Amino acid sequence: MIASGMKEKLNKHQESARAFAEACRVLPGGVNSPVRAFDGVDAGPVFVASAKGSKIFDIDGNEYIDYVGSWGPMIVGHAHPSVIAAVEAAARKGTSFGAPTLAETALAQKIIDAFDSIEKVRLLSSGTEAVMTAIRLARGYTKKDIIIKMAGCYHGHSDSLLVAAGSGLAESAIASSAGVPDAIAKLTVVVPYNDIEAVKAALAKHKGNIAAVLVEPVGANMGVVPPINGYLQTIRRLCTADGVLLIFDEVITGFRLAFGGAQELFGINVDLTCLGKIIGGGLPVGAVGGRADIMDILAPTGPVYQAGTLSGNPIATAAASATLDILAEKGCYEKLESSSAKLEAGLAEAAKDAGIAVTINRVGSIQSCFFTDRPVRTFADVQSTDIQRFKKFFAGMLGRGIYLAPSAFEAMFVSLAHSTDDIERTIEAAGASFREIG
């Protein structure tokens, strides 16, 4: 059991509160990415001082078992010795050149070797930039303008993707953020995730004008929502039949669900793949890859322009290569699966024992615990879950030294650094937290 003294200590965040007040003076909302503000859990954010393995440590001296993992990248654990050594060695040679390096080519080859659908890669600096570039590529290649995306799937904050569904099936989207022109929003059509009939309707209504269908193969930005049987395969078939490009946003799933991402797991080849998070090893890296005939229309060989001063940064590529080398070792994904399955089963049992209705969705080493007694297959299902109960659960877990994403619409990430003891302590904390919220 967790001692009451330890629980009391973990509930103290005075230094974080002071740091947040100071940050609000100089940063909009006190943070550099909205979810970090903890608005989704009606609390003040925890300021992190350091991390190692499966643990993070805040500026008040509290220790937490971390299931955020920098929102996915830290699959080998924080401050892994091999990754740190690679970063240190690269930094000694210079932090940025703005010129080609051998490391960029080596990283690109590792990505190509991992994904059957990728023949060439453009390295970038973020997942958002990867998706933005993929869309521009799709439009340039097909000479068409409309993109179909799925409700609840987040693809970064570029203008054409900060949109919400219109009022009717297969209608053009409406802007979901101030600053996004309606004219740009109208080039995106939003349909429900896991609704193949809606995809068919959108393809039929806008036939001849669609550049691409863009989808997270596993919904992971509305919590974890797996694809229903045949969903991705049918989208692939429909896109091929209509001459529409299929783009998988594997920023979260790439190198996480399998070494070859969701495409390997589900046996699907796509036209363009967006990557990020894990391929940076904790540093800012993104990539878009695909068929050579599509990729070759990127500048300088083609008319679709994209550039980036820090693309292929030597420190970032060093961290990325070191991380991928670790993941290529035998047994990594089996360990991730074993730890994640144990956590899933333990959370489900703890909730049952406490009389709390939950639905746990898991694919590989990502999972979500939704407070509902119904299946969760769409964004509408996610929105109907008990968010207030999640907030109480989050508070209970944080107080017991378990760091979850501060939003009901995010995933839990298990890493290679999570030990059996970590998982057991998490399940114990969950049982106590479930009983508290009754």
Instruction: Quote the pLDDT of residue 276.
Output: 97
Residues 300 and 346 in one domain: no
pLDDT band at 170 (very low <50, low <70, confident <90, very high): low
* The pair of three-digit structure tokens given for residue 435, joined into one six-digit string: 């009983």
AA letter at 381: D
Q: Where are the alpha helices (DSSP H) in 296-331?
A: 314-327
Within its chain, how far is the Cα of 383 from the centroid? 19
Which residues are tagged catalytic? 154, 249, 277
Q: Give the residue, 114 or 156, on which the prediction is more confident.
A: 114
Question: Is 95's pLDDT higher than 70?
Answer: yes
Instruction: Quote the pLDDT of residue 175.
Output: 82
Q: What is the mean pLDDT of residues 353-381?
A: 97
Residue 390 lies in a domain: yes
**What are 116-151's pLDDT values in tens digits?**
999 999 999 999 999 999 999 999 999 999 999 999
Question: Is 1's pLDDT higher than 90?
Answer: no
**CATH number where 209 lies:** 3.40.640.10
pLDDT, mean over the chain: 94
**What are 171-201's pLDDT values in tens digits?**
567 788 888 888 888 899 999 999 999 999 9
Instruction: Quote the pLDDT of residue 159.
Output: 79
**Which of 310, 327, 344 corresponds to the end of one domain?**
327
E strand or H helix at 241, and its extent? Answer: helix 231-242
Number of domains composing the chain: 2
Comparing CA positions, the residue from 371, 262, 379, 256 lying closest to residue 360 is 371
Instruction: Quote the pLDDT of residue 160.
Output: 80
SS percent in the chain: helix, strand, coil, step 5: 45, 15, 40
Whole domain around residue 307: which residue ranges? 81-327
Listed range (165-174, 408-417, 422-431) with the worst mean pLDDT:
165-174
Query: Is the separation of the CB atoms in 153 and 163 below 8 Å?
Result: no
Residues 339 and 321 in one domain: no
